[in-house]
């Protein structure tokens, strides 16, 4: 079987052509970073309008790369939750149109579960049952996954997501959007022990939740203190920027790794899958790899292009299709965050 998968949950317009054997025949990701850059974050209305412009060219390019025609498709899958309402609707409208016109099944994809499934696709191995950590721009969540269809939420952030904290701290430091890659780069020249930023909940081993807003505020107070500040006019010493970036990143890595391994201990599992844009972070990857070896845990982290948003991970639709889980054409977008 050949599936077309669509991803428009946030600010990437992506399409992929995959088989039920999880072969990737073609994949296209159109980034909108340059459109959102000057706002320091994703502007939902700009994102949805850009999806409208890009969705058809992106689908055509994915099909062309795969050497597959529309008529050869056996199903179409689309991420319908979670995400920005306007963005989700564009992918959903395209997928429904194709399903109706081609008379093929429509399959719903949960974007967060798809981030985890990227580990299955990239490794070519069965990664279930596992503990999964999803670290993205909107989510920081731990799951116990019995199978590709059974995700049980163990905990998550009670305020900001890890990626959101990277983006906001980068903005305070005058570093470009998206903040994750720019903080990672600045951190290379910095001292991770320069500032003792908080590691919220890290010492509460029983609690599998995260909180990053206190960390974000600690960074702000380190830079400027309370009160109104125009961060655009702030003159920061480049070494201080590097030291804050490195110390902030170290705090995030400590809590993500600490909670992921605590979840493994609590659940008695020894497979850890990590997905989402923040899983592209080199310091996090190094830390998880080292600790996994030490603890005898099998770790799966996808290559960078399958960590950040893409449509290949929508191949989780194959599992739903095999289980007979197809959707009616009135499938809704379920916007917002899953907490
Ligand atoms: O999964 P993703 O591409 O989109 C969402 O589903 O949100 O994640 C985007 C997030 C952004 O906050 C971005 O700053 C972060 O992932 N990110 C990183 C890195 N690359 C992307 N964070 C830390 N280090 C990176 N190298
Ligand atoms: Zn994502």
User: Which residue has its alpha carbon closest to ligand 1 atom 10?
Assistant: 137
The pLDDT tens digits for 15-65 are 999 999 999 999 999 999 999 998 889 999 999 999 999 999 999 999 999
The CB-based long-range contact list for 88-92 (8 Å cut-off, 24+ gap) reads 88/8, 88/9, 88/333, 88/334, 88/335, 89/48, 89/333, 90/8, 90/13, 90/48, 90/51, 90/52, 90/55, 91/6, 91/7, 91/8, 91/9, 91/51, 91/55, 92/331, 92/332, 92/333
User: Which residue has its alpha carbon closest to ligand 1 atom 6?
Assistant: 136
Please state the atom number of ligand 1 nearest to the C-alpha of residue 275: 1
Percent share of the chain, pLDDT over 90: 94
Please state the rounded mean pLDDT for residues 259-267. 98
- Closest ligand, as measured to the CA of 114: 2
pLDDT at 47: 98
The pLDDT tens digits for 173-222 are 999 999 999 999 999 999 999 999 999 999 998 999 999 999 999 999 99
User: Which residue has its alpha carbon closest to ligand 1 atom 7?
Assistant: 137
- Closest ligand, as measured to the CA of 279: 1
Is residue 1's pLDDT more than 90? yes
Is residue 10's pLDDT more than 90? yes
pLDDT at 227: 87
Please state the rounded mean pLDDT for residues 301-320. 98
| Residues lining ligand 1, Cβ inside 6 A | 10, 136-138, 163, 166-167, 178-181, 184, 276-278, 280-281, 308-309
Provide the edge-to-edge strand list for the sheet that holds 24-31: 24-31, 12-19, 2-7, 75-81, 106-110
Q: What is the pTM of this model?
A: 0.97
Please state the rounded mean pLDDT for residues 287-305. 98
pLDDT at 231: 87
H/E run at residue 165: helix 162-172
Q: How far apart are CA 160 and CA 166, in angstroms?
A: 10
Please state the atom number of ligand 1 nearest to the C-alpha of residue 283: 24
HEC readout, 133-148:
EEECCCCEEEEEEEEC
């Amino acid at each position: 079987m050949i599936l077309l998968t669509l991803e428009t949950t946030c600010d990437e317009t992506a399409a992929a052509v995959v088989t039920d054997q999880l072969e990737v025949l073609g994949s296209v990701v159109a980034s909108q970073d340059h459109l959102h850059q000057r706002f320091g974050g994703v502007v939902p209305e700009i994102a949805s309008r850009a999806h409208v412009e890009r969705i058809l060219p992106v689908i055509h390019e994915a099909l062309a790369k795969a050497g597959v025609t529309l008529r050869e498709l056996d199903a179409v899958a689309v991420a319908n939750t979670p995400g920005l309402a306007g963005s989700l609707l564009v992918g959903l409208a395209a997928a429904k149109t194709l399903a109706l016109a081609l008379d093929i099944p429509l399959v719903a994809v949960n974007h967060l579960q798809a981030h985890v499934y990227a580990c299955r696709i990239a490794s070519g191995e069965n990664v279930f049952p596992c503990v999964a950590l999803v670290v993205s721009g909107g989510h920081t969540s731990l799951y116990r996954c019995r199978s590709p269809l059974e995700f049980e939420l163990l905990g998550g952030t009670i305020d900001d997501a890890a990626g959101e904290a990277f983006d906001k701290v980068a903005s305070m430091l005058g570093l470009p959007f998206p903040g994750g890659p720019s903080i990672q780069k600045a951190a290379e020249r910095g001292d991770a022990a320069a500032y003792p930023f908080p590691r919220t909940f890290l010492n509460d081993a029983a609690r599998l939740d995260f909180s990053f807003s206190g960390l974000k505020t600690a960074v702000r107070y380190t830079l400027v203190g309370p009160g109104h500040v125009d961060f655009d006019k702030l003159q920061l010493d480049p070494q201080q920027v590097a030291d804050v970036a490195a110390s902030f990143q170290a705090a995030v890595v400590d809590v993500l790794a600490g909670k992921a391994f605590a979840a493994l201990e609590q659940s008695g599992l020894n497979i850890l899958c990590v997905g989402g844009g923040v899983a592209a972070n080199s310091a996090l990857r190094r830390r998880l790899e080292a600790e996994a070896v030490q603890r005898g845990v099998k770790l799966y982290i996808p290559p960078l292009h399958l960590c950040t948003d893409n449509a290949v991970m929508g191949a989780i639709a194959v599992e739903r299709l095999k289980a007979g889980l197809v959707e009616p054409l009135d499938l809704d977008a379920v916007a917002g965050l899953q907490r």
